[in-house]
Amino acid sequence: MKHYKYKILAAICTICILGGNFASAINSPDTYAIQDEIIADSKENNAQTDFYIDIKIEKELKAAIQNVYGKDSDDEIYNNLIQHAKTAIKNRPKKLIERDLKRESNWFQNEIIYMFYVDQFGVIRKNKNNTFEDTALMLDYLKELGVTTLYLLPFIDSPMEDSGFDVKNPQDVRQELGGMKQFENFIKSAKDKGFKIKSDLVLNHLSDKHEWFKELQKGNLKYLDYFIWSDKEPRYKKYSDENLGTVVEYAEDDGTISKRRLIFPENTENNWREVEIEGKKYYVYHTFYPFQLDINWENPEVLYYMLNTISTWANLGVDIFRMDAIPYLSKEKGTNAENQPKTHSIVNILSNYLQLTSPSSVIQVEACQEPKDIVPYFGKNRSVNLKIGETTKELSRTSEAQIAYNFPYMNAIWATLIAEDKKYFTDIYKKMPIIPKNTMWGVFLRVHDELTLEMVSPEVRELIFQDLKPKGAEFRKGFGVSGRLANFLDKNPNRIEMAFSILFSIPGIPIIYYGDEIGIENDYDNAKKQAQKRAKDKSTFSKLLSAFDSRDINRGSVPQKLFYGSQYGWYEFNSKVYNKVKHLISLRKSLPVMSDGRFEILKTTTKENFSYIRKNKTQEILVVNNLSKDKIIAEITLPATTILKNKRKITRLKNLINGDNIKVNISLQNSTMHLRVAPYQVLWLDLSGNNDNGN
């Protein structure tokens, strides 16, 4: 594996600033049309000529660049980055500059995110995938549902061997989706309806169909240094670890041992792909599939290329960038290649660049790690001054990401639902570190990937796996399970409602996976079809141990008719689930306390009574979840301040879920409340002091 630091010649830097050696890859007529519109719009942006950089950002950038690239070339790389920033600002459309000025620093904390594959969501024609133009017909459905941010799962140019996370050209749109023009039209329509846009930013790897790797295969050895490579065959031993799954230990040529998790043990033997170039064998590193080669972030050319990529999408209106597989960016020898200091420096560089060039956009990291390892990805809270046109604006942002997936919460919710025992969530919550003020967890029940069981105890892994595997499919040899939410919850509308009730009432930004709001089930046919497609591609998949990816059962197309039909009441089960989820979304949006309120888990006498309070200065909501299939008499210890605020006269509380007035019995002696709760029932009880107390 070669890591290096070198200076870039001035001529090469100039080329990079103008777009890099591969900017010409974006050469479709649609792309040129977009570029022409951006240039026309940017002519009105004459006030951006004077560039200002806050001293805090400058210091952070210089320190991070030096940590990744060393002292020899840090000034040159910093100056090149600033030139990239100036170009991005100059090309920024006027509407987005206005957005930069008006938007609050913490706007993202109130969002409800809905994620979907553009070609699979609301499919119009049988056996034919959607384009952006087709999927635009689903915007009215999403508006009625009540979500606020649309997360477009990978739509970037890709051979689609890993559902779009194998990126061929990160600065273009797949032609089968309608290309850049249809993307632009979709974004305009979505923005006109008030939606914000979230997009993936794949930073760890590129497809072997990318021009860098193709040039390497042709014999241009310059491109070895765009990847992580070695000219020595890897020496390793492989074993199974109770906590980490399949582990590969590599004996490095400097005497160190690199202990790496093998992410896809069913599909690949190790992390190195053999490549023969002009009769000589080289080995290129991959964290995931062999057709996704990890890029070398210690090559400044890679940095410049990704800065151009960020600016491309930021200037087309992306509000949230989801940084995919972020823990793996640095692969120092002798480490596990996860959460390394250089990785944090890279995230800091990209975050500061985005704050300079698109300050209304934010970053979300995908880091399936222990809580103590996730929190550092937020960085540090600070306020910086930005010059936007003739206006100076203060931006309160963290130095790395602003949103991070909370994988431990996801696992805890599922363990709690399966065992009908609140302790699993309570235990995780007690261990959860405090996060910076201007950040937020991203919370979810299901996503496009497996329900991962990497970062849980063996006991919890066994509990979840044994319950859900018969309802879905195994992934990563027991360290994950694939499947849809409805299958996992036995197609019980009340259990599905409870899962969403928890999702919408715990701290974090809720993220909904397409189809879960109408109870879509596993798609085994899609999994078989995708496996057959991979098996046919001998050039890419010949060295895979298996072409089957169980995650494909929770992917696949869902027809437009089923979504709108569920909305219109055409389907008994799907419509029932839809109405429950839609109502919870509406309720959450009407209660700011669910976004900004303090969260306090309450003492109860039984394990199936999962109760907690969300409280801010004006609102106080008691959430009661009966995890059991049996009715219970819930006994809950309330905070003394709650009882005093209500003048000790609480006899009835309004259930915001259905409007009922619930009869309760309060013991003033020990501050306990008693009430009857039906099987799998959820209650959101208003304790704000405006209740009819029965007097």
Which tokens sit at 360? 């209304």
* pLDDT at 695 exceeding the cut of 80: no
Which tokens sit at 140? 């009215």
Query: What mean pLDDT is predicted for residues 133-160?
Result: 98
Q: Which helix (H) or strand (E) holds 405?
A: strand 403-405
CB 496 within 8 A of CB 580: yes
One-letter identity of residue 637: T
Q: Which helix (H) or strand (E) holds 494?
A: helix 493-505
Which tokens sit at 218? 């042709």
The residue with greater pLDDT, 235 or 19, is: 235
pLDDT at 25: 38
Q: Give dist(CA 301, CA 304) in Å, integer.
A: 5
* pLDDT at 48 exceeding the cut of 50: no
* pLDDT at 15 exceeding the cut of 50: no
Task: Phi first, then psi: give them for residue 599, nearest 5 degrees.
Answer: -115, 125
* pLDDT at 16 exceeding the cut of 60: no
Q: Find the range with the poorest average confidence among 71-80, 107-116, 319-328, 531-540.
A: 531-540
Query: What mean pLDDT is predicted for residues 554-565?
Result: 97
Question: Strands 403-405, 440-444: parallel, antiparallel or unpaired by DSSP?
Answer: parallel
Distances in Å between the Cα of 135 and the Cα atoms of 72, 157, 176, 183 are 50, 18, 13, 10
Q: Give dist(CA 7, CA 77) in Å, integer.
A: 8
Q: What is the pLDDT of residues 642-687, one digit of tens each?
A: 776 765 567 889 999 999 998 888 877 778 999 999 999 999 999 9
Q: Give dist(CA 252, CA 3) in Å, integer.
A: 13
In the block, residue with structure tokens 């002696």: 669
Q: Give dist(CA 305, CA 410) in Å, integer.
A: 34
Question: Strands 480-482, 473-475: parallel, antiparallel or unpaired by DSSP?
Answer: antiparallel
Q: What domains, with CATH codes, occur in the chain? A: 594-686 (2.60.40.1180)
Q: What is the pLDDT of residues 306-327, one digit of tens each?
A: 999 999 999 999 999 999 999 9
Q: pLDDT class for 267, splitting at 50, 70, 90?
A: confident
* pLDDT at 80 exceeding the cut of 60: yes
Angle at 594 (CA atoms; ends 590, 598), nearest 5 degrees: 145
Average pLDDT over the chain, rounded to an integer: 90
Which tokens sit at 641? 């301040």
Q: pLDDT class for 546, splitting at 50, 70, 90?
A: confident
pLDDT at 504: 98
Handedness of CA 378, 381, 386, 388 (dihedral sign): positive
Q: Give dist(CA 242, CA 393) in Å, integer.
A: 51
Distances in Å between the Cα of 284 and the Cα atoms of 220, 227, 257, 276, 296 are 15, 7, 18, 10, 11
In the block, residue with structure tokens 């057709």: 291
DSSP E strands in 289-342: the ranges are 292-294, 320-324
Q: Is 366 left (phi over 0), alpha (psi -120 to 50) or beta?
A: beta
CB 597 within 8 A of CB 633: no
Rg (CA), the chain: 26
Q: Give dist(CA 206, CA 223) in Å, integer.
A: 13
**3-state SS string for 534-556:** HHHCHHHHCCCCCCCCHHHHHCC
Q: What is the pLDDT of residues 581-609, one digit of tens each?
A: 999 999 999 999 999 999 999 999 999 99
Q: Give dist(CA 505, CA 601) in Å, integer.
A: 12
Q: What is the pLDDT of residues 330-358, one digit of tens each?
A: 999 999 999 999 999 999 999 999 999 99
Q: What crossing angle do the helices spanning 572-590 and 560-568 adopt, rounded to 10°?
A: 70
pLDDT at 535: 77
**DSSP β-bridge partners for residue 635:** 674
Q: What is the pLDDT of residues 103-143, one digit of tens each?
A: 999 999 999 999 999 999 999 998 899 999 999 999 999 99
pLDDT at 141: 98
The residue with greater pLDDT, 261 or 46, is: 261
CB 92 within 8 A of CB 315: yes
DSSP E strands in 203-305: the ranges are 205-207, 229-230, 236-241, 245-251, 257-261, 272-277, 280-285, 292-294
Query: What mean pLDDT is predicted for residues 384-389?
Result: 94
One-letter identity of residue 306: M
Q: Give dist(CA 423, CA 416) in Å, integer.
A: 7
Q: Which of 310, 116, 301, 302 is nearest to 205 (CA)?
A: 302
List all residues 6 or more positions away from 199 whose beta carbon is below 8 Å from its beta carbon: 151, 152, 155, 313, 318, 320, 321, 322
pLDDT at 22: 37
pLDDT at 536: 75
* pLDDT at 17 exceeding the cut of 60: no
Q: Find the range with the poorest average confidence among 10-24, 215-229, 645-659.
A: 10-24
Q: What is the pLDDT of residues 491-509, one digit of tens each?
A: 999 999 999 999 999 999 9
Q: pLDDT class for 32, splitting at 50, 70, 90?
A: very low
Q: pLDDT class for 539, splitting at 50, 70, 90?
A: low
List all residues 6 or more positions away from 542 whose beta carbon is below 8 Å from its beta carbon: none
Q: pLDDT class for 693, splitting at 50, 70, 90?
A: very low
* pLDDT at 19 exceeding the cut of 50: no
* pLDDT at 20 exceeding the cut of 50: no
The residue with greater pLDDT, 545 or 680, is: 680
